[in-house]
Chains A and B, each alone.
Chain A
Amino acid sequence: MFVLPGYDAFLGFLLISAAVPVLALVTNKLLAPQSRSGERRLTYESGMEPIGGAWIQFNIRYYMFALVFVIFDVETVFLYPWAVAFHRLGLLAFIEALIFISILVVALAYAWRKGALEWS
């Protein structure tokens, strides 16, 4: 049924760990008192009555970081098989990874120079 060994336990533990928050919330629903008035369902924010909502357009400054993150996250995904098999690949794999990482370091230097890593 399972092609790879050990992953039946993954499925089982996924179900158990998903059951924890569900059970906790259901128990809370059964035990806890229900709201009596609408007042308490006001947004708390900072204790004052909130002025306007949060679902508006504004400048998310982390946008560039997210783009750079995608590049480097894909890089680490490529490096995983390299690191695991490195003992059998030897010097050639080292030089190849050196070239691969150098290209990405150039990309990092470019992003740095362009100010993509500045929070301002």
Chain B
Amino acid sequence: MTALRAPLAAVTSGLDLQTSFTTTLQGIGLTPATAHLLWLPLPMLLVLVAAVVGVLVNVWLERKISAAVQQRIGPEYAGALGVLQPLADGLKLLFKEDIIPARADGLLFTLGPVLVLIPVILSWLVVPFGQHLLISDVGIGVFLWIALSSIQPIGLLMSGYASNNKYSLLGGLRAAAQSISYEIPLALAVLAVVMMSNSLSTIDIVNQQSGAGILSWNIWRQPVGFLIFWICALAECERLPFDLPEAEEELVAGYQTEYAGMKFALFYLGSYINLVLSALLVAVLYLGGWGFPIPVEWLAGALGQSVDAPVVQVITGSLGIVMTVLKAYLLVFIAILLRWTLPRVRIDQLLDLGWKFLLPIALVNLLVTAGLKLAFPAFFGG
């Protein structure tokens, strides 16, 4: 697998907690296999907690920023500035009665939200916070995310159908149609980035953007791809202006109309995890991932420190996590502001935008990238 990848000479090793952990355990007499098994659940649980905390912060930000946009105060009683409000909401939903309508299909009704949530959590497998700070660097990286994200509309369709409610069914159908319309431009935009990195792995994609700091980020070489990806990501997350599946003026609440209690909470959690995940992936694909705007090698050199010194590695590792999160939340902030800026599109406008505008543009973008890569290989990843 590694032999197929492009050689990355200039990349520093960075913080590698897995190797330190397993060598320590082997030092006290455990076999490598046992040490590996003991290591495996740690990053997973950490990422899961990070995702949930990310959602809580996101919900709080959304409510506070929405309030600020509308000149309200927003949540303020639960904790300082209302920071505990999302947690209180979550706990409330945990104690709410679970209602399955008598005329609904009980099995599909329960399976729907579960099927929506699992793929969005699972996609965090490939989100990198540093050179070795991700759960697993599977070779297919972004492709895994795209494959997983196409499972979600099945869950939405399922819950829309199972509710036995006209509005839910229409909402579920809309969700599926919207998701398939924007999946292809999204995949084509990702393909252009993949072509520049010669790899599907998220780690290689970020490493390809390191070197000259902010100047080497993909957004400068893929401005069109960035816009396509961002529009498609908003549509896939069903964010305004693309929230047609749950347009409250037309469809009550779309596919979630009949849901209450924990199943509603699963939908809610799923959609916010998806938003944070999409923002993180935009940061990884176009904004240099964990990269600092000024290369850390230069900074360390200016301060007279070696990049491989343990202290510097811990600092750059933490800086990488902070940078990834900052970039992602900047995009979340833009998404929240877009929500209060743009009116909702109609379904025919939505489909026209996807099929008649974004798809041709994404195809042209891919071919132009391929042509430029042939003409100027040095600037487009060799």
Contact = CB atoms under 8 A, between A and B. Distances in A.
B184 A73 contact: yes
Interface stretch (B71-79, B186-194, B232-240): B186-194
Contacts of B97: 32-35
Interface string B64-107: 00000000000000000000000000000011111111111000
B317 interface: no
A118 B266 CA distance: 34
Interface residues of B, number: 85
B347 interface: yes
Contacts of B266: 21, 24-25
Contacts of A69: 180-181, 183-184
A55 B103 CA distance: 10
A35 B97 CA distance: 7
Given A14-B122, A29-B98, A117 B44 contact: no
Contact of A84 (B144, B198, B366): B198
A34 B100 CA distance: 11
A10 B48 contact: no
A60 B173 contact: yes
- Name the residue in A29, A35, A55, A62 with the highest tally of chain B Cβ atoms < 10 Å from its Cβ: A62
Contacts of A27: 94, 262
A98 B96 CA distance: 56
Contacts of B99: 35, 40-41
A76 B136 CA distance: 25
A42 interface: yes
B117 interface: yes
A108 to B, nearest CB: 7
A110 B6 CA distance: 40
A86 B367 CA distance: 12
B304 interface: no
Contacts of B199: 84
Nearest to B96: A32
B158 interface: no
A8 B195 CA distance: 27
A91 interface: yes
Contacts of B1: 4-5
Interface residues of A, number: 69
- Name the residue in A24, A34, A38, A68 with the highest tally of chain B Cβ atoms < 10 Å from its Cβ: A24
Contacts of A43: 101-104, 163-165, 258
B44 A16 contact: yes
B360 interface: yes
Contact of A45 (B48, B166, B265, B377): B166
B168 interface: yes
A120 to B, nearest CB: 7
B159 to A, nearest CB: 12
Given A25-B110, A83-B191, A98-B367, A45 B165 contact: yes
B367 A20 contact: no
Interface in B139-162: 139, 143-144, 161
Interface in A1-20: 4-10, 12-14, 16-18, 20
- Name the residue in A27, A45, A120 with the highest tally of chain B Cβ atoms < 10 Å from its Cβ: A45
B310 interface: no
A22 B121 CA distance: 13
A1 to B, nearest CB: 9
18 contacts: A12-B41, A18-B114, A20-B121, A32-B94, A32-B97, A32-B261, A33-B97, A35-B97, A40-B99, A41-B99, A43-B258, A45-B257, A50-B165, A62-B177, A84-B194, A87-B373, A105-B363, A117-B351
**Nearest 10 pairs between A and B by C-beta?**
A9-B136, A28-B262, A17-B121, A62-B177, A119-B348, A83-B195, A6-B136, A41-B102, A76-B187, A21-B114
Given A83-B192, A119-B351, 15 more contacts: A13-B121, A16-B121, A22-B114, A25-B266, A35-B97, A45-B167, A54-B161, A62-B177, A65-B181, A65-B355, A66-B180, A76-B184, A86-B373, A101-B363, A117-B355
